Amino acid sequence: MDTKTGEYYRQERKEVEALIPQNTTRVLDVGCGEGVFGKRLLERGVKEVAGIEINPDACINARKNLSSLVCGNIEEIALDFDEGHFDCVVLADVLEHLKDPLFAIKKLKKYVSDSGIIVASIPNIRYWGIINMLIEGHWKYEDYGILDKTHLRFFTRKEIEKLFTDAGFEITDINANIDHRYSKLNNASSGELSFGRVLLKDLTADDIKDFFVIQYLIRARRSRPITAVNTSQLSDQIDTGKKELKKIAIVRGANLNKWEMQNYEPLSDRYDLTAYTTTQTCFDTEQIRMPVIKLPFQSQGLLLSMEGLEDQLAGKDLIFSADITYQFSAQAIQAKKLYGCKVLCLEWENIPFNYEEYEAVRNIKETVRGHADHYIAVTERAREALMLEGIPSEMIDVVPMGIDLKRFRPREEDVLRDRECIGIKKEEIVVLFIGRMVWEKGAYDFVHAAARILSDSSLNRLPVRFLMVGKGSEFYAVQERAMALGISNWFTFIEEYPYHEMHKLHNLADIFVLPSISTKTWQEQFGMVLIESMACGKPVVSTYSGSIPEVVGDAGILVQSNDHISLCNAIKKLISDTELRESIGKKALTRAETEFDSEKIAEKVREVFEKVLNRRSPEDRIKATYEEGLQFWRDGNKEQGLQLVCDAFDDNPDNRAVLDSLVRMGTETGELNVVEKALKEYLNYHPADLDTLTALAEILLQFGSPALATEELKKVFLFDPENQKAVALMEKIRALATDNKGSILHSDMEKID
């Protein structure tokens, strides 16, 4: 450690910080150096950052920067933290310095909360430069890097995954620092890689990429305990044979909202619909007419992960997720792998390969594109983006959004009262903007266009009122701009307005304006407010941004985006020409009634649901075999029923639902050898599954093998020394040993002790 310079202990580690969820409150930084990284976290809003550091000189400054510090070797010192105290433990370039990394992670596990995570950065010994060095006959240690002279352990990606699995964690995210040479490869999917005197063949694209990874950045959580077999629930399933509605999960993360759900609510009598969102949502969900489940979450935006989502989706026939860019869509794919359900994605994104410069998002998209069963694109542009990314056209249906035409319709009643409520006079011509109050929605262009209109003498000072509705980061800045231009007296600003009353605003207005501006990573994906206004018979003015032209059609006036002068001229034309307003308004109403009726849209969505549900896949065949086995069991043919369930399990030994049935049936019929074999196969996929380990121990004990049963229980106690089922089973084993002194059983127990 003396070879390190001071700079080594003062690294900010921004790439590691990016892996720490925004809602993290308590962090343990193992190998914290001088605490510069921890100080950044405290400045970001983390309430507590404790550090562990082996270098006494670095500890001096670390004490000043962190909430608390333990100076010593993590493998040797005792820790005085409360169990489950931290929701994030950081191991940034630490594990490779330890004698026993597995021991260290297990030691730290007790201090990680049930929903907490470990964040780690670990060098990749498979890096091409190391291989090239070996080929040339060298293994040269250095002061820094992969062959740092203080490194005691070396890892590949597979060994990293095994390390955390053995410690009772599952890796949820793997990112990497990648050699810049990777981006210069002529063909990263060629199957061949050459450097120096090395030529490697028959490589996958992932293999090639792996050779350019300098360091892996991972995030891991505790392995999720699988719910114990519910025999009464299974018995009900087997005995009653009730046929239920198909179960469909609508997964939307923090973006669950009423305006989209109105397109699926009419299907509630055809399917068992459940919507899944987060504990903190972007929109009001109270008006949604279907069950809504709120789950804890980590991270924000595209990387938002919903805790426990995969288990929530067990038993669903179809998962209807959002865009392929979201982490929770990748979680839906994981649920498909675990439980055999189908995955349908709703695609709004209309920019091909958007965000793929970020490896984490690119990995998500590759996962979803590779395993989703079907897609609904809300526009032709979204469909085109999917096709450019490699999705076959036959896997995509275009179904736009719709609205409730019973609510969004022209109505004269109460318009005057609604105007009075927000201070608008009867004679005023109202130009309405509804949207996020940000630059890309054209909020400033709206204000600048208004300024030109109000200064135009040709309008003979017509009484015009500009109404802006919506919250956003620039809400107050937009108001300040109106004041700076001297036109605030002609403006009314409303930051929040309930969606279930939004039709009132559209009806009290005369013209609706949405001046969206495209950016590098965003262009208007649909524009729900446009069809809401059109359904109320209002003419709209908008821009050539993204999918707006195909939504508006000939029912409005479109101008170039980010051009307030053209926007002004279009609005001015409608202000000064009542007949034109009425003419375009009628076209808008006809288009809305024809194309965007939520009842009609729901029927189109139903057709897609049925297409996907009825499509046969390998997972379907496994499910059909499984259900056939259950039916034989119900009919009394238990031998045939068990055999079919075993066949289904053999085809997918990572299927928990099938395993549960197999254990129930095999135990009841005395086929314990079948149960033992299945439990061992499942443990190949989930070696730290405590319930399965305990169940296997119980079967082994029934076979008269207490020593083998105890070995399985020892694995349970590694992760959970107080596991009640395991403790009770161990007491049973010891009681049997006491009752059988001098017997073979007693001899086995001596070996165990």
Q: Is residue 501 within 8 Å of 526, Cβ to Cβ?
A: no
Residue 305, beta-bridge partner list: 298
Beta pairing, strands 272-278 & 198-200: unpaired
Q: Is residue 44 within 8 Å of 12, Cβ to Cβ?
A: no
What's the whole-number mean pLDDT along residues 184-188? 74
- The pLDDT, as a whole number, for residue 18 is 76
Does residue 190 carry a pLDDT above 60? yes
What's the whole-number mean pLDDT along residues 477-484? 96
CA distance 111 to 26: 11
Tell me how many degrees the CA angle 602-608-613 measures, rounded to the nearest 5.
120
| Residue spans of beta strands (DSSP E) within 451-588 | 464-469, 491-494, 511-514, 540-543, 556-559
Q: What is the pLDDT of residues 1-27, one digit of tens each?
A: 344 556 666 777 877 887 888 778 999
Same fold, 231-398 and 656-752: no
Alpha helices by DSSP H, 193-269: 205-210, 231-240, 258-261
Q: Is residue 132 within 8 Å of 142, Cβ to Cβ?
A: no
Does residue 685 carry a pLDDT above 60? yes
Select the highest-mean-pLDDT range: 235-239, 506-510, 684-688.
Answer: 506-510
Does residue 742 carry a pLDDT above 60? no
Does residue 143 carry a pLDDT above 80? yes
Residues 6 or more apart in contact with residue 200 via CB below 8 angstroms: 192, 193, 194, 211
Q: Among 352-356, 432-436, 450-454, 732-736, where is mean pLDDT lowest? A: 732-736
Distance in angstroms between the alpha carbons of the first and the last residue of the chain? 42
Structure tokens at 599: 């009842």
How many Cβ atoms sit within 10 Å of the Cβ of residue 423? 9
- The pLDDT, as a whole number, for residue 272 is 93
- The pLDDT, as a whole number, for residue 9 is 66
The answer, as to whether pTM is greater than 0.85, is: no
- The pLDDT, as a whole number, for residue 389 is 95
CA distance 430 to 419: 10
Q: What is the pLDDT of residues 193-243, one digit of tens each?
A: 888 898 998 888 888 989 999 999 998 988 764 333 343 444 444 444 445
Dihedrals phi, psi of 478, to nearest 5 degrees = -65, -40
Percent of the chain with pLDDT over 70: 94
Does residue 747 carry a pLDDT above 50? no
- 50 burial (CB, 10 Å; 0-12 / 13-18 / 19+) is buried
Q: Which helix (H) or strand (E) holds 221?
A: strand 213-222
Residue 467 CA: distances (Å) to CA of 175, 482, 543, 589, 698: 46, 12, 19, 22, 70
Dihedrals phi, psi of 467, to nearest 5 degrees = -115, 120
User: Pick from 247, 220, 222, 269: which is nearest to 317 by CA?
Assistant: 247
- The pLDDT, as a whole number, for residue 103 is 92
CA distance 564 to 76: 68
At 311, the pLDDT band (50, 70, 90 cuts) reads confident
CA distance 64 to 82: 23
Does residue 476 carry a pLDDT above 60? yes
Per DSSP, the three-state class of 419 is helix
State the fold for domain 415-596: Rossmann fold (3.40.50)
User: Pick from 229, 236, 235, 233: which is nearest to 699 by CA?
Assistant: 229
What's the whole-number mean pLDDT along residues 30-39? 93
State the fold for domain 6-222: Rossmann fold (3.40.50)
Domain 231-398 has CATH 3.40.50.2000: yes
User: Pick from 739, 451, 699: which is nearest to 572 by CA?
Assistant: 451
For the chain, what is the mean pLDDT? 89
- The pLDDT, as a whole number, for residue 314 is 87
Beta pairing, strands 292-295 & 213-222: unpaired
Domains of the chain, by residue range, sit at 6-222, 231-398, 415-596, 656-752
Q: What is the pLDDT of residues 51-108, one digit of tens each?
A: 999 999 999 999 999 999 999 999 999 898 988 899 999 999 999 999 999 999 999 9
Domain spanning 656-752, CATH architecture: Alpha Horseshoe (1.25)
Q: What is the pLDDT of residues 388-404, one digit of tens each?
A: 999 999 999 999 999 99
Q: What is the pLDDT of residues 567-578, one digit of tens each?
A: 999 999 999 999
